[in-house]
C-alpha cells in the first residue's frame, strides 16, 4: 500500500517531471508526460518490448533524468485511465522483490495480469456484443459523454463523465447469475452500475449492424464503433453481424459494498502463508439485489 500511495503522487506532478522513488539502494521513477502517467525501472538489456493489457502499456524506452539518458522498462497509462488501478499494478511492477522476475520474464508478468483481468482479448459471443451495444444505446441517448471502452482493453465495458458501467448478459431464461472475473470489474468508489441483459435469438430483431446504425444515428462516432468491433473480431461485412437477438429484459444495479463484495488481494493474501493469491472470480446471484428495470 505504501508504494501505491507513492504512485498516486502522479496526479499532482507537473507535466514533464520525473520523481525518483527509493527502496533501499534501489531507485525507480515516476514520470508525468503530456498524455499520461508512467513508472520506470532501469533495464540494461538489448530486448525491445511493447505489450498492452487492460489499457496499460509495458514498453522499453529511454529516460532522461539529471542530464543522463538510460534505458528503462516503462509502464504507462493515458491520463484518462483509472489511476487507482494503475497505482495497484505499478506498485507490483516497481517493488524490488519482483524486480528479478520482471526483468527476466516481462512477457510472463504481462500474461499474469491479462489472466487476472479475465483477458480482455477474449472471444466475444454475438450475444455479448449485442448486450453491450444495447446498453451503450440506452446510456448514450441521455449522456453524450458515454464511451464504449471494453473492446479496447478497458477495465470496464462503458465509461462516462461521472461513472462506469459493466455489462453482463445471458441467454438463459431463468437464472440471474453473473461472473465477476477481476477484482477491478466491480468498484463502489467509481459510481458504478452493472447492467444485466437477458437475450434470446429471434428473427427480425436487433443485430450488430442494426445497432451500429441506430447508435451512430444518435451521434456516436461510427468509425469508433467499427474500430471497437474490429478489435472483437467483428469487422464490417462479417456475416455474423446480421444475426439477430431480442432483448427480453435489461436491469441496472448500483454497485455498492452491501451487494457486491470487494475483496482486496492484500486481505486475501493475509489468510495464506505464501501470499500467492494473484486473482479470483466470483459467481453472484442477482435475484435478491435491488435494481432498476430498463426494459
Q: What is the DSSP string of 8-26?
A: GGGGGSPTT-EEEEEETTE
Q: Strand 68-78 vs strand 36-42: parallel, antiparallel, or unpaired? A: antiparallel
Q: Mean pLDDT lowest for which of 69-73, 145-149, 200-204, 263-267?
A: 263-267
Q: What is the mean pLDDT of residues 145-154?
A: 83
**pTM of this structure:** 0.65
Q: What is the mean pLDDT of the chain?
A: 88
Separation between Cα atoms, residue 256 and residue 93, nearest integer Å: 29
**What whole-number distance in Å separates Cα of residue 36 and Cα of residue 207?**
36
In the chain, pLDDT over 70 holds for what percent of residues?
A: 95
pLDDT given for residue 120 in this prediction: 46
User: Could you give the C-alpha distances from 267 to 64, 263, 277, 288, in angstroms and in order?
Assistant: 38, 7, 10, 27
Per-residue pLDDT, 80: 65
* pLDDT tens string 74-119: 999 887 667 888 888 999 999 998 999 999 999 888 888 877 765 5
Average pLDDT over residues 125-148: 96
**C-alpha cell, 31:** 514520470
Confidence of residue 124 (pLDDT cuts 50, 70, 90): confident
Task: Give, as one character, the DSSP assignment of residue 128.
Answer: H
- Interatomic CA distance for residues 220 and 135, integer angstroms: 13
pLDDT reading at 238 higher than 90: no
Low-confidence winner among 118-127, 212-221, 247-256 (lowest mean pLDDT) = 118-127
Q: Please compute the mean of the pLDDT values over residues 266-275 and round it to a whole number.
A: 79
Mean predicted confidence (pLDDT) in 163-178: 91
Q: Are strands 163-170 and 192-206 parallel, antiparallel or unpaired?
A: parallel
The owner of cell 472470480 is 281
The alpha carbon of residue 54 and the mean position of all alpha carbons in its chain are separated, in whole angstroms, by 5
pLDDT above 60 (res 257): yes
Position 51 scores a pLDDT of 82
Greater confidence (194 vs 273) lies with 194
Cell of 132: 453491450
Asked if residues 206 and 244 have their Cβ atoms less than 8 Å apart, the reply is yes
What nine digits make up the cell of 223? 468509425
pLDDT of residue 159: 92
pLDDT band at 183 (very low <50, low <70, confident <90, very high): low
pLDDT at 175: 86
* 127 phi/psi in degrees, rounded to 5: -65, -35
Amino acid at each position: 500500500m505504501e508504494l501505491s500511495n507513492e504512485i498516486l503522487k502522479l496526479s499532482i506532478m507537473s507535466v514533464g517531471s520525473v520523481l525518483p522513488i527509493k527502496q533501499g539502494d534501489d531507485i525507480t521513477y515516476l514520470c508525468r508526460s503530456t498524455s499520461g502517467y508512467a513508472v520506470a525501472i532501469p533495464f540494461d538489456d538489448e530486448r525491445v518490448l511493447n505489450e498492452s493489457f487492460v489499457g496499460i502499456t509495458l514498453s522499453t524506452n529511454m529516460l532522461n533524468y539529471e542530464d543522463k539518458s538510460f534505458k528503462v522498462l516503462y509502464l504507462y497509462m493515458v491520463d484518462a485511465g483509472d489511476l487507482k488501478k494503475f497505482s495497484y499494478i505499478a506498485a507490483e511492477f516497481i517493488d524490488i522483490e519482483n524486480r528479478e522476475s520482471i526483468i527476466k520474464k516481462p512477457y510472463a508478468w504481462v500474461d499474469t495480469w491479462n489472466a487476472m483481468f479475465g483477458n480482455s482479448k477474449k472471444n466475444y459471443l454475438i450475444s455479448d456484443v449485442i448486450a453491450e451495444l444495447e446498453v451503450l444505446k440506452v446510456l448514450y441517448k441521455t449522456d453524450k459523454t458515454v464511451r464504449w471502452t471494453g473492446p479496447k482493453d478497458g477495465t470496464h465495458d462503458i465509461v462516462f463523465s461521472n461513472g462506469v458501467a459493466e455489462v453482463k448478459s445471458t441467454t438463459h431464461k431463468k437464472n440471474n447469475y453473473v461472473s465477476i472475473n477481476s477484482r477491478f470489474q466491480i468498484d463502489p468508489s467509481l459510481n458504478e452500475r452493472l447492467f444485466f441483459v437477458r437475450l434470446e435469438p429471434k428473427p427480425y430483431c436487433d443485430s450488430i449492424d442494426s445497432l451500429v446504425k441506430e447508435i451512430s444515428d444518435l451521434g456516436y462516432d461510427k468509425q469508433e464503433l467499427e474500430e471497437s468491433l474490429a478489435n472483437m473480431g467483428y469487422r464490417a461485412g462479417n456475416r455474423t453481424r446480421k444475426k439477430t437477438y431480442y432483448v427480453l429484459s435489461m436491469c441496472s444495479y448500483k454497485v455498492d459494498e452491501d451487494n457486491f463484495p470487494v475483496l482486496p488481494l492484500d486481505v486475501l493474501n493475509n489468510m495464506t502463508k505464501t501470499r500467492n493469491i494473484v486473482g479470483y472470480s466470483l459467481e453472484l446471484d442477482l435475484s435478491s439485489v435491488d435494481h432498476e428495470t430498463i426494459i
